[in-house]
Amino acid sequence: MSTGKVIGVNLSTRRGMKKTNVGSGYLIADYGLQGDVHAGTSRQVSVFMAERAEELAGALGLPFQPGDFAENITVQGINLEGVGVGARLLVGEAIVEVTQIGKQEDEPSSLFFPGSAPLKTEGIYCRVIKSGWVKTGDWVTIIALT
C-alpha cells in the first residue's frame, strides 16, 4: 500500500528520550520538526510504522503509544519496508526525502529495548524538502521511489 495515515506527531527537547505526541507540528525545509531536539541535524525527521512498533511492543508485553520509539512521525496503514534512500513522502502538507535507513549506535539511549533500539535498525530518517504542517489524521503517501 502506498498511502496511510499519520497517527502521531512526536517531539522531545532532549536526546535519547521517548517523544511526546503533540498532535501537530510544522516541518521546516532543510531543518526538521519545529521544537524537536533533532531539528537542524543530519537526521531531521524520523518516521516509523505503527504496525511494526505495536509488534515490537507486544513482544515485550508493553502497550504502544506514538513517540514511544523516539520517532517524530508515526504512520499507519502504509508499508515503508523496502523504501530506499531518495524516496519521497508527502506527509500532510510537507514533503520529506529519505536520507538514511537505520543509524549507527552513536550515543546511549535511556529508552528500554532489549538489543538495539528499533529506530537504529529500522527507522527511516528524512530531510524536509518542502515545509508544511502535519497533524494526526493527515495522509502520508509515497510520491517517488528510488
Q: State pLDDT tens for residues 92-110.
A: 999 999 999 987 655 554 4
Taking a C-beta distance cutoff of 8 angstroms, is the pair 80, 101 a contact?
A: no
Q: Which residues of the chain fall short of a pLDDT of 70?
A: 1, 104-121
Residue 24 and residue 11 in contact, taking contact as beta carbons nearer than 8 Å: no
Total number of domains in the chain: 1
Return the residue matching grid coordinates 535498525. 121
Cell of 92: 500532510
Query: Is residue 130 classed as helix, strand or coil in its secondary structure?
Result: strand
Q: How many CB atoms lie within 10 A of CB 52?
A: 16
The CATH number of residue 32's host domain is 2.40.33.20
CA distance 67 to 11: 8
pLDDT of residue 106: 55
Decide: 96 and 27 in contact? Cβ < 8 Å.
yes
Structural domain boundaries enclosing 14? 3-106+115-144
